[in-house]
Amino acid sequence: MRNFLKEYVSEFEKLTEDLPRLSGGISRSEAFAFCGLCKFFEIDVVIDSGTGRGVSGEYFARTQKQVITIDLHLHYENSEELSSILKEYDNIEYIVGNSLLEIPKILHRESGKRCAVFFDGPKNITAFEFSQTLDIVFCGFHDVIKGREFAEMFDDKEGTLFHTHDEWFATEYNRLNRNRIQTKGYLNGVGAVFYVNR
């Protein structure tokens, strides 16, 4: 998988060279990790749980075949900008609703397709426990803080692929975050962890 990511990084950089256009959200290296794994696992449908400001949705729309993004909220501080940006893509569907209720419906509707979920809401153990009930290939969890209990539970868990703060990943790919809009969270040890559902 590491060799695959090394081969994929230039493709990702070309597809996303002008992103992010919106502030906040996931870092570029987190987006690269998730998108690279989607390509590696031949994912058909990406479910973005927690649209937020739309940063992850735009990364996924640039690199994936089909994206479905879900959030409880209709309005964000950048809702007009978010709407206009997401309308640029014909491969993204926006659902207003609770991911815990909407994801099972989506998986039923998309039955037979290889699906992955990126969780930015719900978070932490709620997201992990929910993910274990889903028929998906893999998932990513955003806002995982190294050194905290939720992050540490993945250290020895079968199925854990990697954390974006793992030394090998950070050494090779933190460069993707240079000269980009950054969030305080990423600079303070917040990253993502990726897990294969068994």
Domain total of the chain:
1
- Which helix (DSSP H) or strand (DSSP E) does residue 32 occupy? helix 28-40
Dihedrals φ, ψ of 160, to 5°? -70, 130
- Which residue bears the tokens 């290296």? 29
Q: Give the pLDDT confidence score for residue 189 in this predicted structure.
A: 60
Looking up residue 163, the CATH number of its domain turns out to be 3.40.50.150
pTM of the shown model = 0.93
- Which helix (DSSP H) or strand (DSSP E) does residue 15 occupy? helix 2-15
pLDDT in tens, 161-197: 999 989 999 999 999 988 666 554 445 567 899 999 7
Q: Give the pLDDT confidence score for residue 185 in this predicted structure.
A: 46
Mean pLDDT for the stretch of residues 114-133: 95
CB distance 111 to 136 below 8 Å: no
pLDDT in tens, 7-61: 999 999 999 999 887 777 888 999 999 999 999 999 999 999 998 888 899 999 9
Q: Give the E-state strand segments of 5-44 in sequence order.
A: none
Q: Give the pLDDT confidence score for residue 180 in this predicted structure.
A: 63
Dihedrals φ, ψ of 25, to 5°? 80, -160
Mean pLDDT for the stretch of residues 139-158: 90
Checking if the pLDDT of 142 tops 80, the result is yes
Domain of residue 30, residue span: 2-196
CB within 8 Å of 71: residues ≥ 6 apart: 50, 51, 52, 94, 95, 96, 97, 121
Q: Give the E-state strand segments of 91-157 in sequence order.
A: 92-96, 115-119, 138-145
pLDDT in tens, 69-99: 999 876 555 677 777 778 889 999 989 899 9
Instruction: Provide the pLDDT confidence category of residue 6 given band limits of 50, 70 and 90.
Output: very high
Q: Give the pLDDT confidence score for residue 122 in this predicted structure.
A: 92
